[in-house]
Structure 1
């Protein structure tokens, strides 16, 4: 598959994209194709990388963030994000079984299950969730700031899913089979 936009190396990217590409390369030890595609727009690349950084420093644990990511990726049929976040979830301490369950929107942990249900409800209902959906998260032990962060994780993953699907970005992580079709 050929990407629908150029996958830029730092040397070929706009000058304003280079600092972010250098930081991304430093964080991953390589520059994943998704970021190389987004590098066509310095503003989009800076926004995406800052979004990852901000949520990485948030109150939602990395493992839960990755579980949310695979649930959203599977729902949106984004093979790239499913592969990337499955690998990152394993690095964050999730078992393969936990990541597979999260891909289906499920978890044996009640709090994680509540977060995944809410995340998928956001995706399926295009943000049109009910007061009861938010109350269910509070009942599962999430504070209001964490509830907002869960929504932010969904929003970031919608951004990355759309980039990868719309631009046919080649997967450069170990492949994971989608469970559902978008």
Structure 2
């Protein structure tokens, strides 16, 4: 998970700032409900692949009606909700880096009630977070000193459309 300092570094690069804006834009114009967006982010955060702090994600989850046990399960890829479970299985396949996703995984998403554009949005959300974290790691690995410029990047973007 990126800390405030890393987000500041990332926000100073044109590509990084654009990716952060894209991640926020996805949340604000999302066709996915808030619970699904939070589930995805919790799962990614547990793997250090999320730009949002865990405490903020958990607060967003509570606001969305997710209880603590559900959120803990989401972090391990488990959901008590059929649609949430299919989504987390799909996200796991996306971040495993397979060049082609299994047809059965896509079919499971459709059977769980996701529309094609929502499946594409899940893929995009997962890969944008992955790109942000990798870009930040590349930037901070080679920086000897950091001129800290804080960047406002919080999970409230997840809540911008409920």
- TM (norm. structure 1) is 0.64
For residues 93-140 of structure 1, the C-alpha deviation after alignment (integer angstroms, 9 at most, x for no partner) is 322222111000010000000000000111124343111111111111
Unpaired stretches in structure 1, ≥5 consecutive residues: 8-31, 169-182
Instruction: Measure how far apart 1:61 and its partner are.
Output: 1.1
Report the CA distance shift for 1:109/1:129 in structure 2 as closer, same or farther (over 3 A). same
Partner of 1:175 in structure 2? Answer: none
Question: 2: CA distance between counterparts of 1:118 and 1:78?
Answer: 15
1:149-164 matches, within 5 Å, as 149-163=121-135
- Aligned residue for 1:106? 78
Q: Which residue of 1 aligns with 2:43?
A: 71
Shift of residue 154 of structure 1?
0.7
Separation in 2, partners of 1:101, 1:35: 27
Aligned pairs, how many? 138
Unaligned runs of 5+ in 2: 142-162
Question: With CA pairs under 8 Å and 6+ residues apart, which has the higher RCO, 1 or 2?
Answer: 2
8 A contact 1:68–1:119 mirrored in 2: yes
Alignment of 1:53-68 (within 5 A): 53-68=25-40
> Is contact 2:50-2:130 (8 Å) kept?
no
State the 4+ residue runs in structure 1 displaced beyond 6 angstroms: none
